[in-house]
Structure 1
C-alpha cells in the first residue's frame, strides 16, 4: 500500500508541474489588444535631410521642334501655249537633288524648263519690243549669270534676246525660235535693204557715167545727184526698218521654258512626274537648301525668349549644333495655341543636314547661368518665414536651426542660396521633409 500510494503521489505531482509549465508558456504567447497596437504602430517620423551642394545652375527653355526646308515651292510649268500635249521627255530629277540657277528642272516635249531666281512668276512669254518689271527681273538675272543683256532696264532688246539664246546654249539646248511672222517680216526687210542698196549703186554709176548730150549740151548732173540722194535716203529708211524687224525677230523667252522661284539653289523634296508622263499641275516641290526648326512654346517660355538668342539643337546622331532664333510669332490656325519660334541652324555639314532634315528634334535655349559653382539646395528645402523671408532648416548634431537665406537663380529643381542670418556651407544637412511625407529632393533632372 505504501509503495502504491507513493507512485500515485509522484504521478499527481508530475502532472501538476507539467500543467504549470504549460500555463507559463501560454501566458508568454497571449498579447492584449493594446499591446498589439503598440507593437505594430509606425515609428516616430524623423527628418529627411539632404546635403547643401556646390553646383553650377543653368536656367534654360527646353522644347522640341520640327525641321523643315526653308520656303517650299511647288513647280507648276506654264503649258497653255504648247501646241502638243505636255509630255515629260527627260531631265527628271531625283528626290534630294540640288537645283541650281540656270539649270534645267525638267524637259517637256524636248524643251528645258530652266530654273531662275526671282520674286515675280513667269506670267507671260517675252520677246523683243516688250517692256515691264518682268523684263527687268529677267535682265538682272541674266546679268547675274554673266550673260550680257545690254543695258539693264525694263526693255527687251535684241541684246536681251542674245543673252537668252546664250542661256539655252549653255545647257545644251537650241535657243527658242523667233515668231514666224517676225522672221517673215525680217526677210522682207532684208530684201528691201538689198533693193535700196542696188538703187544707190545704180544712181552712183549713172552720175559717174554722165556725158554731154548729142548737141554737146552738158549732162544734167543736178538731177542725177538728186536721184542719188533719194536712193540713199530710201536705203537709210530700209536699214532702219530692217533693224526694227531684226529686233522683233530676236530670241524670245517662252513662259513654258522658264520657272522663277524666290531663291536658289533649292532641294527637290517631291517629284510628281515621270519620263513619258503628261504634265498636269505641279511637277515637283522644291525647297530652300537651308533648314529651319519650328518649335511651339507656352506663354511662360515665350516671355523668356527673344530674336537673335542662341540655341542648341540636338542632331539625331547625338551631336549638338548651334542655332539662332530668327522669328517669334503667335501661333495661327484652328486650335493653335502658344507661340511659334523659328530657329535657323548654324553652319552644318552635309551629314548633319541630312540627319536633321524632316526630324523632330530637342532644342535647348540657355536663359541664365550662375557664374560658376554656388551653394544650392533643393527647392523643397526652402520655407517662408513670418515676414516672407526665405529660410532653410539645418540639422546640426540632431538639433534643427533655421537659417535665413537670400535666393538667387532657381533652375533644374535647385535654388542658389546665400546665408543672411547664420552660416551655411557645403555639406550642411538641410531638411526637405519628414519620414511621413513623400519628398522630392530635386536631384531628378
Structure 2
C-alpha cells in the first residue's frame, strides 16, 4: 500500500532545520537573524485566503466495473469468439457454439426457462421489450407470450442466424443490464463450450482501492478524489462505494495482521483513459479540508530559535505564526500582522 506524501508539521520542521531555510533561524524573543544568510531571499509570495485540502496518496487499479464470468448454456464446440476489449450491445452476438450465436439482450432477469406460448411473467415482458427495441413487433409489451410474440421471435431468429423455433432459451440468449465489454475469452474456438466462454465487464471505468483499514477515515462515499494516471494525466472522480467488511492481508500464504477495505471510485470523465485496463494508478484521497484560511508557501516558514515558526514580511519584519494544514506546497498560517494580500519573503529559486 502506497502511503501519501503529505508534509506533516513534524516533517516540515525537519525540512526547515536541514534545508535552505536554516540560514533564517531566529534569536529568542527579538526575532532577529542569528547569522547572516549567504543567499538572502529576494523573492516574495502573497498571503492568500482559500480552502486548503490535505490529501493522502494510495495505490489503486483502473479497470472496468461488474466483471463477470458470463454463464454459458449452449452445448457444443465454440466456433467463434470476439476479440478481447470488444464491446457488444443489445442484439449483438457474444460468441458462437456449433455455428449458432449466443445473443446479448438487456435486462436483469436471466433466461432460466424456455419462453414460449405456454409461458407468462416478467421475463416475457423483458423479452418483448428487447424485441421491440431491436425493431421487431411483439404486439402489446406485457407479460403474455402471444402469437405476435412468437412471430417476432421467429423473425429475430432468422435475422440472427438462429434456428427459427419461435421459442427462446438460455442457449440462445444471455442477459446483462447494458452493453458489455469482452474482458477475457476463457474458451478458445475449437474447444468445448463449458460453464463460461467469456468474461465480461460493463463499459464503465472505475478505480479499485484496497485501503488499509487503519485509514478508514479517508473513505467517505461521495467524497471527491483525484486520480493520477500513467503518463502524468490526472482526472477527477468520487468514491462510489465503501466496503463494510475488512479483508485480511496475506503474504506468502500467511496472515500479516493487517486488513483492507474495498473502495470503488467512479470517474467524472473517462475521455482521456484510452483503452487502459488493470493499470496501476495513484488515488489522492482527502484527509482534511480547511475552509477559508490564510496560507503561504511552505518555503516561507522560518524556524524560530525559541520554538515554532515565523514568516518575514516584505518589509523585513519577522512575525511568529501558528501553522495548520500543509497541502499542495502551502501551509495554513495565523497570527497578528498577517492579512490577505500581504507579501512574505521566500528563498529565491
TM-score when normalising by structure 1: 0.56
Q: CA deviation at 1:414?
A: 5.6
Give the secondary-structure state (helix, strand or coil) at the position aligned to 1:255. coil
State the 1:259 CA deviation: 1.0
Task: Work out whether 1:392 is the aligned partner of 2:323.
Answer: no
Q: C-alpha distance in 2, partners of 1:360/1:290?
A: 17
| Alpha-carbon distance, 1:286 to partner | 0.9
Q: Provide the residue aligned with 2:24 in structure 1.
A: 49
For structure 2, the residue ranges without an aligned partner over 5 or more in a row are 1-21, 26-40, 250-257
**Runs in 1 of length 4+ with deviation above 4 angstroms?**
50-58, 298-301, 369-373, 376-385, 393-396, 401-404, 421-425
Cα gap change, 1:422 to 1:55, in 2 (>3 Å): closer
Higher strand share: 2
> How far 1:331 sits from its partner (Å)?
4.8
2:173 maps to which residue? 258
Greater Cα shift, 366-375 or 269-278: 366-375
Task: Name the residue aligned to 1:410.
Answer: 326
Compared CA separation, residues 120 and 425, structure 1 to 2 (3 A): same
Q: In 2 relative to 1, CA 89–294 (structure 1 residues): closer, same or farther, beyond 3 Å?
A: closer
Assess if the C-alpha contact under 8 Å between 2:101 and 2:162 holds in 1: no
Residues 1:337 and 2:259 aligned together: yes
Q: 1:95 aligns with which of 84, 87, 112?
A: 84
Distance of aligned partners of 1:53 and 1:134 in 2 relative to their CA distance in 1, 3 Å threshold:
same
Give me the whole-angstrom Cα distance separating, in 1, the residues matched to 2:274 and 2:312: 54
The verdict on how the C-alpha distance between 1:332 and 1:146 changes in structure 2, with shifts beyond 3 A counting, is: farther
Q: Distance in 1 between matches of 2:337 and 2:103?
A: 77
Which is greater in Rg? 1
> How many Å separate the matches in 2 of 1:419 and 1:174?
79
In structure 2, relative to structure 1, the CA distance for the partners of 1:372 and 1:415 (3 Å cut) is closer
Choose which of 277, 282, 307 in structure 2 pairs with 1:362: 282
Out of 123, 127, 132, which is 2:112 matched to? 123
Distance 2:241 2:197 in 1: 31
How many residues end up aligned between the 2 structures?
Answer: 293
Alignment match, 2:199: 285
Give the drift of 1:74: 1.3
In the aligned structure 2, how far is the partner of 1:126 from the partner of 1:162?
13
User: Cα gap change, 1:414/1:168 in structure 2, threshold over 3 Å: closer, same or farther?
Assistant: same
- Asked whether the 8 Å contact 2:205–2:267 carries over to 1, the reply is yes
CA distance in 2, matches of 1:255, 1:298: 42
- Deviation per CA, 1:147-185: give whole Å up to 9, x if none: 2222222221111112222222333x25433xxxxxxxx
Say whether residues 1:154 and 2:143 are aligned partners: yes
Q: Equivalents in 2 of 1:405, 1:395: separation in Å? A: 10
What's the Cα RMSD here?
3.8
TM-score (structure 2 length as normaliser): 0.70
Q: Which runs of 5+ in 1 are unaligned?
A: 1-46, 178-250, 430-445
d(CA) in 2 for partners of 1:134, 1:281: 22
Further displaced range: 325-334 or 160-169? 325-334
